[in-house]
Structure 1
Amino acid sequence: MRTTASVVFCTALLLASAFSSVAQTPEAQSAVPANQPAEVSFQFDHTGLPVPRFTLRIHENGTGTYQADQAETPATQTSMRGQAAQHVDRPINLTPGVVAKIFKAARGLNHFNVECASKAKNIADTGTKTLTYNGSDGSGSCVYNYSENKMVGTLTDTFLAIASTLDEGRKLEFLHRYDRLGLDAEMNSFADEVKEGRALELGTISSTLASIADDTAVIQRVRLRAAKMLEQVAADRP
């Protein structure tokens, strides 16, 4: 009886070990639960820019994060105060329309299991870009400097426009605190970017815009422009 019990016990241990080994395989570790929102991320890397590296991670429910490494900004003749290099890690929430376009493109591109990079020679370096998809319906990624694929190009422009708005929020916060007179020219420039579609998702910096709009020490036309942008944010939200 003891021998039989020992055999059963050893067999159970071997089976438990086998199941544990399977659970630790890369495939098992990378599996995404069916109830977890799919995620699309865009990573950008280009040395020499004010924000040389950033990553946008967007979940299908609209939530996400913006992580960026901002380079040091020296003081200038118009702004006597510079900014130290810093790392940014902040949550964001995008509008349903933009999120739907992002995920429709990602799935249309087979979860980025495609050749993104152009094979043309002598293309200017516009930064290394990485698109990644991770969800219960599949996963994949592609890396490129420039892509001739129109869907990839449109998706790239969308992410760059979102990042542009987030970076603009940083500039406006700095000017609002240290150089209020500088807000006039900056808001003019930003309004043009928004009008031309090079800055998207104003809701990601709504608190900054509200702070400017409510500050009576700021020039009236700047406050009005910030208030108008907040009206656009409200109109974009369901």
Structure 2
Amino acid sequence: MGLRTFRALLSLVTLTVCLGAYGQHPAATVSFTFDFPGANPSHYELVVANNGHGSYSSNGKFDDKSDPADPEPLQFAVSESVRSQIFDLAKRAHYFSGKVDSNNKNIANTGAKTLAYKDDSHNSQATYNYSPLQPVGQLTSLFQNLSTTMEFGRRLVYFHKYEKLALDDQLKRMEEMQRDNGVGDVQAIAPVLKDIANDSSVMNVSRARALRLLANAGK
């Protein structure tokens, strides 16, 4: 191969890479924000991208005497089935661009909820107390349950580091809620559960609970 041919090929490869980078679209995201004074947490936000990666921030407390949570968002990854469900429901809800709230004043206040969708051609959101739209209701339940999972994750990380004997109560409660479909995608905190299961300084009963939670994830 001559030098001129090599340079031509190198230029073509460089151009292809640049065009590929230029043509990349920003990740689409679906987010859910919840605000309800007096609840714990009284504020949280979940953001999930179309690659399955997400972030969670909240002001949840471990108990009435503890300080609010660290505002630094927690990073996580949901399972493929949950990722697909989130974006399918967002599409069925027309990306929250129409009327979402029922505006029924007779329905009890259950907190201000905001669903938002962003991609390279959409930037829409809707705030509601209660929505009669089935996809919105399903997304609300999904995100609220996922928040429950993330709050368990925060507590498990803390107790694993500072109070290992408290882990079993948390894991037992999480198992009970998993059986009742009261927690969201356990895959989101799989690294936390694996750390507990692999730690020989943690009680065997707690390690076994962590393994069961992982085994039952997605069932």
* TM-score normalized by the length of structure 2: 0.80
Aligned pairs, number: 197
Alignment of 1:1-238 (within 5 A): 35-71=25-61, 73-75=63-65, 82-83=66-67, 85-233=69-217
Residues 94-139 of structure 1: per-residue CA shift (max 9 Å, x gap): 1111111111111111111121112222322211000111123433
The alignment partner of 2:156 has SS state of helix
The alignment partner of 1:154 has SS state of helix
Aligned partners of 2:158 and 2:64: how far apart in 1?
A: 13
- Consecutive unaligned residues of structure 2, counting only runs of 5 or more, are 1-22
The alignment partner of 1:88 has SS state of coil
Paired residue type of 1:40: V
Structure 1 stretch displaced more, 145-154 or 115-124 = 115-124
- Consecutive unaligned residues of structure 1, counting only runs of 5 or more, are 1-32, 76-81
Aligned partners of 1:84 and 1:106: how far apart in 2?
A: 31
Residues 14-36 of structure 1: per-residue CA shift (max 9 Å, x gap): xxxxxxxxxxxxxxxxxxx8622
CA RMSD of aligned residues (A): 2.3
Structure 1 stretch displaced more, 177-186 or 58-67 = 177-186
* TM-score normalized by the length of structure 1: 0.74
The alignment partner of 1:91 has SS state of strand
Aligned partners of 2:168 and 2:76: how far apart in 1?
A: 26
The alignment-based identity, stated in percent, is 29
